[in-house]
Amino acid sequence: MFKTNIVDKAAFEAIAGYYDNRQAAYTLSNDNWGCNPWANPGARWREPNDDESDCYQAALHVCRRFQLPLSIAINSRAAGGETMWKIMLEELHLSDKSWEPAVHGWTHPKDREAYLVNGYKQEILACRDDILQRLHNIPYGQYIFEHILTHGYEDETIHQTDSGEFLFVRGFNWMDNPKSTDYAAWNGKHRFYGIGGLSTKGYDTLLSRRSPKGRYYASDVAELNEAFFLLV
């Protein structure tokens, strides 16, 4: 027989340190599954280099090959359709914990006016409800831990809507954020970590100007390696 003590109150003190004194942690997220028709959400899988495949499924397959777990932000009522949900289910049913869904929004709103079209709760919390209703075998339980802000837009209503609903709220601003190298702070008022997770190196604008979009060069790898080594 095992006896447990009942804890009726707990308070946050600090983020736990790693048992082996590591100074860096790795996370990877990818935005906008179901947002843009040109990304072919729901298109049948062919291969990562096939432009007619679902771009987000392609990214997932590449990350899986390198054993890089991935969080993917989902727009639940934009361009995806039923075939997109079927693909997501198929990928989750592999049960390899290679990816987890995150909330992005119903329709990827960019500012307060866009949020007011459907309402903040609908864009954020109803998106989460859509995901939980449509997807199963989510790693670590039937929960959505992360809200990834669309366009990086934030205001107090978003903070209030997210309050106590997510573990982490991730921001975005398209720019270099060289001081974004630590864990996101705990927001005691709204009970989530963040808003944090800004890009230490903001390559999105640069890569979108290249042809084909997203092409990396050796100089990019060297610069990213240098930025990473500064963290450790």
Peptide bond into 139 cis (omega under 30): no
In this predicted structure, what is the pLDDT of residue 230? 59
**217: in domain:** no
Alpha-carbon gap, residue 139 to 123, rounded angstroms:
23
At residue 41, does pLDDT exceed 60?
yes
Number of structural domains the chain divides into: 1
pLDDT tens-digit profile of 114-125? Answer: 999 999 999 999
And the tokens for 96? 């390899």
Cβ proximity of 200 and 180 under 8 Å:
yes
* Beta bridge mates, 147: 103, 169
- Tell me what the pLDDT averaged over the chain comes to: 87
Query: Could you tell me which residue, 67 or 10, shows the higher pLDDT?
Result: 67
Return the CATH number at 87: 3.20.20
Q: Alpha helices, DSSP H only, in the chain?
A: 55-65, 82-92, 112-118, 120-121, 127-134, 156-162, 204-208, 218-231
Instruction: Find the mean pLDDT for residues 25-40.
Output: 86
Closest of 134, 79, 80, 74 to residue 104, by C-alpha: 74
At residue 51, does pLDDT exceed 70?
yes
At residue 4, does pLDDT exceed 60?
no
Alpha-carbon gap, residue 121 to 162, rounded angstroms:
9
**96: in domain:** yes
For 7, 58, 77, 180, 215, the CA distances from 80, given in Å and listed in that order, are: 44, 15, 7, 32, 25
Cβ proximity of 80 and 7 under 8 Å:
no
Say how far residue 160 (Cα) sits from the centre of its chain.
20
Alpha-carbon gap, residue 186 to 193, rounded angstroms:
4
pLDDT tens-digit profile of 67-91? Answer: 999 999 999 998 888 999 999 999 9
**231: in domain:** no
At residue 6, does pLDDT exceed 70?
no
Query: Could you tell me which residue, 216 or 130, shows the higher pLDDT?
Result: 130
Residue 115 belongs to what domain range?
A: 29-200
Alpha-carbon gap, residue 61 to 48, rounded angstroms:
7
Q: Which amino acid is at 206?
A: L
**24: in domain:** no
Peptide bond into 195 cis (omega under 30): yes
pLDDT tens-digit profile of 177-230? Answer: 888 877 888 999 999 999 998 887 787 777 778 777 777 778 878 877 776 665
Alpha-carbon gap, residue 197 to 22, rounded angstroms:
19
Mean pLDDT is lowest, of 82-91, 95-104, 142-151, 196-205, for 196-205
For 114, 206, 213, the CA distances from 152, given in Å and listed in that order, are: 13, 18, 21
**97: in domain:** yes
**178: in domain:** yes
And the tokens for 188? 């005691």
**230: in domain:** no
DSSP letter at 32 equals E
**129: in domain:** yes
pTM of the model: 0.84
* Beta bridge mates, 74: 33, 103
